[in-house]
Chains A and B, each alone.
Chain A
Amino acid sequence: MKKLFTFFKTLNNIFITVILTIFYFIVIGMISFFYRLFKRDDKNPMSFWKKVDGIKLDPDYFSSPY
C-alpha cells in the first residue's frame, strides 16, 4: 500500500513538474520577451534612492495582502 502511495505521489510530482516546465517556457517566456522589450531602468547617475509614494494612512490598504 505504501509503495503504491509512493508510486502515485512520484507520478503526481512528475506531472506537476512537466506542466510547470511547459508553463515556464511558453507563458513566462512570452511575458519575458515583452518585459525586456518595454522595461526601462531609471537612470540617475547621482543616486539610486527611489522616492516613495507617501505615507499610507488608509487602514484598508493594510487589510489587503497585496
Chain B
Amino acid sequence: MTILGISAYYHDSAAVIIENGKIVAAIEEERFSRIKHDNGFPHKAIDFCLKSRGMEMKDVDCVAYYEKPLLKFERILENFIATFPFSLKPFLKGMPEWLDYKIKIESSIRRLGFKNRIFFVPHHYSHAGACFLNSPFKESAILTIDGVGEWQTTGLWKGDNNTITPLKRIDFPNSLGLLYSTFTAHMGFKVNEDEYKLMGLAAYGKPIYADKIRSIVDIKPDGSFQLDFKYFSFREGFRMYNNRFEKIFGKARTKNERIIRHHADLAASVQSVTEDIYFKTLNHLHELTDSSNLCLSGGVALNALANGKIYKKTPFKNVYIFGAAGDSGAAVGAALYVNNVIMKKKRNQPQNLYLGSKYDNSAIEDALLRYNLRYIKHDSEQKLIDRAASLLSKGKIVGWFQGGCEFGPRALGNRSILSKPNPKSMKTKMNIIKRREQFRPFAGSILQSEVHKYFEVPEKNHQSPFMTFCFRVKKEKTAALASIVHKDGTCRIQTVNKDNGRYYNLIKRFFELTKIACVMNTSFNLKGEPIVETPDQAIEDYLKTKMDRLFVGDFEIYK
C-alpha cells in the first residue's frame, strides 16, 4: 500500500510517501522553490517523492491530505461574520484565494493524474498521527497544540496501538500558538517563522509582564484558557494585536529597531505564561489518561525550552516529539493515520528523518567543476572523517553536506554547518557567518552515550534525536560547551548514535581528538533562505561566507 501525504496552503507545504507503513520519502516544497516556508501546492515536492521511488501518480494507492478544507473555510466564513464590519480587508483578500483554489484541493490533486481515493484527515488528527504513530509507544497520552487547524487549536488524545481517541479540545479563536505569535509580531518578527527567536530572546529577560499577560488570558487550573479579544485583532485584521494591547505592553518593535531589555522581558513573560498553560494542560492530560508516555505535535511542540522542563513539571516519564512537529509533519501524520488507523495496517518502527534528496559523487563532482574549485575526493569514509574532525578540533568552521536531507525544520547532521562548541567567541563568529542576530543561541549534537555527563537529562543515554528539547548544561561542562550554552544555562540538543551514520562517526572521531563529545550544529543556510538542497547551493553559501572548509559527500572543498 503506497500513500502520498500532502500539506499545502497555510505554511510549510510538503509531500511524503509511505510504503507499507514506512516513510520512504519526505520533503518540504521550500527546498525546491527556495521560498522559506513556501505555502503553495507542493508540486516539486510531490515530483521528487514519486521520482525517488521510481513511481508515477498512477502507482499511488491513495492520497492523504492533512486537513478538511471545507471545514476550515467554514471557520474562515464564520470569523468574517463574527467580526463584521471590521473584517472587510481580510475578506477581500481571502475570498478570491479560497474560491479560486483553496477549496478546490481535490481538483488540484486530480489534475496530477490521480484517480484513486483521496482522504481528508482533520488537521489535529494529522498532528496526532504524526507523533503517536511514529513513536515507540504502544499506548500514550497525546497533546496536539498549534495556531489553528480547521477549528481546533489544542487537542488531548489517547493513543492505543492503532487507535487514537480524542478526549478534549479547544477551538479557535482561543489558541496558545496564536498568543505566542501575537507577541512574535509585536516584537517585529515574522509570524509562523520567527517564534523561535522569541524563545531565544526570553533568556535575556525576566517575566515581569507575566501578570499583565494573565490579565488578558484567563487560564484555568486544568490548563484550558480563553483570550480576551478586546486586546487581540487577528480575527478581523492583518495585525495580530490592537492599540489596547500596545497600551499595556508598549509600542510594537519595528523590524530593524534595536532589541532592548524591555523586549527581552516581554519574551520571557510570554514564555513563562506559555509554559504555565503547557504544563497545566499536560498535567490535566496525565490525569485523564494515566499514561507515563507522552507524544507531542503541532507548532507549539517546537518550543524546545518548554519541552525540556516536561520531565520536572509533569509526571510523564517518556516523551516523544516528532521532529517535524509543524505543518510539514502533518503530511506524514495524515498518511500514517490513513495507513494505521483507517486501514488498520501494522505500525512500523520509529525512523530517522533523513528522508529527502541525496546526491551521488558524480552529481557532486559536476557541481564542483561548474565552480572551478579545488577539491580532494577521499577514497575512504575514515579519511574524510579524520580530516573533518581534525579541522573541527582546530576550531575551523565546516560545512557538512551528506546523505539524504532532513525532513522538518532542524538540521540533524546531513545539511549542517559545524564547529567546536568552544570558545565563547565561536558563537559570535557563527552568527556572523549565518547573518543572524547575536542574541540567538546555537544547538549541540552530542553522542547519546555521553549525554548524561554533559546535560541534566532524565536518564543515562537519554534519547533526543530531533533537537526538540533544551536541557541545562552541567556546571563542569560549561567551559567545554561555552559557545552553545545559552544565557539561561540551557542548550537545545540532538543526541547522536549509530543510526546517524557518518555524522555519528564524525562526532566520535572529534571526541577522540578533543575529549569533547559534542559539536556545535547549525543548519546549512544563510538568513532568510531555506536549508540548502543541492551541492550548488552548498558551494554558493560556502563561497559567500567565512566557512573554512566544505565537505560534500566524499569531497573536501577548498577556497
- A residues near B, CB below 8 A? 16-17, 20-21, 24-25, 28-29, 31-32, 35-36, 39, 46-52, 54-56, 59, 62-66
> Can you list, as one digit per residue, whether each of B51-94 has a CB less than 8 Å from chain A (1) or not (0)?
00000000000000100111100100010111011001001100
- B residues near A, CB below 8 A? 65, 68-71, 74, 78, 80-82, 84-85, 88, 91-92, 95-96, 103, 105-106, 117-121, 125, 156, 163-171, 174, 218, 220, 222, 224-226, 284, 338, 342
CB pair A21–B88 under 8 Å, yes or no, is yes
CB pair A55–B170 under 8 Å, yes or no, is no
Q: Which residues of B sit under 8 angstroms from A29, Cβ to Cβ?
A: 84-85
Cα–Cα, bound, A48→B125 (Å): 20
Query: Nearest B residue to A35 by beta-carbon distance?
Result: B81
CB pair A49–B169 under 8 Å, yes or no, is yes
Across the A-B interface, give the 6 residue pairs with the lowest CB-CB distance, nearest first. Answer: A48-B224, A32-B84, A66-B70, A49-B168, A52-B166, A49-B224
Total A-B contacts with CB atoms under 8 angstroms apart: 91
Query: Nearest B residue to A27 by beta-carbon distance?
Result: B81
Q: Which residues of B sit under 8 angstroms from A17, Cβ to Cβ?
A: 92
Q: Which residues of B sit under 8 angstroms from A49, Cβ to Cβ?
A: 156, 168-170, 222, 224, 284
B250 smallest CB distance to A (angstroms)? 28
Q: Which residues of B sit under 8 angstroms from A55, Cβ to Cβ?
A: 163-166
Query: Nearest B residue to A55 by beta-carbon distance?
Result: B165
CB pair A20–B91 under 8 Å, yes or no, is yes
Cα–Cα, bound, A64→B94 (Å): 22
Q: Which residues of B sit under 8 angstroms from A56, Cβ to Cβ?
A: 125
B353 smallest CB distance to A (angstroms)? 26
Q: Which residues of B sit under 8 angstroms from A66, Cβ to Cβ?
A: 68, 70-71, 74
CB pair B117–A63 under 8 Å, yes or no, is yes
Query: Nearest B residue to A54 by beta-carbon distance?
Result: B166
Contact of B70 among A28, A59, A65 (CB under 8 A): A65
Q: Which residues of B sit under 8 angstroms from A25, Cβ to Cβ?
A: 85
Cα–Cα, bound, A63→B166 (Å): 19
Q: Which residues of B sit under 8 angstroms from A63, Cβ to Cβ?
A: 117-120
Cα–Cα, bound, A56→B122 (Å): 11
B314 smallest CB distance to A (angstroms)? 17
Q: Which residues of A sit under 8 angstroms from B225, Cβ to Cβ?
A: 48
CB pair A51–B168 under 8 Å, yes or no, is yes
Kindly list 18 other residue pairs between chains A and B, CB separation below 8 angstroms, not including A52-B169, A65-B106. Answer: A16-B96, A24-B84, A24-B92, A28-B81, A32-B85, A36-B82, A48-B218, A49-B156, A49-B169, A49-B170, A52-B168, A55-B163, A56-B125, A62-B119, A65-B69, A65-B103, A65-B105, A66-B74
Cα–Cα, bound, A50→B172 (Å): 12
5 contacts between A and B (CB under 8 A): A17-B92, A20-B96, A54-B166, A65-B65, A65-B106
Cα–Cα, bound, A53→B237 (Å): 31
Cα–Cα, bound, A17→B222 (Å): 45
CB pair A62–B168 under 8 Å, yes or no, is no
CB pair B120–A31 under 8 Å, yes or no, is no
Cα–Cα, bound, A21→B146 (Å): 32
Cα–Cα, bound, A22→B287 (Å): 51
Report if A32-B169 is in contact (Cβ < 8 Å); known contacts: A62-B120, A65-B120: no
Report if A32-B82 is in contact (Cβ < 8 Å); known contacts: A52-B166, A65-B70: yes
Cα–Cα, bound, A50→B165 (Å): 15
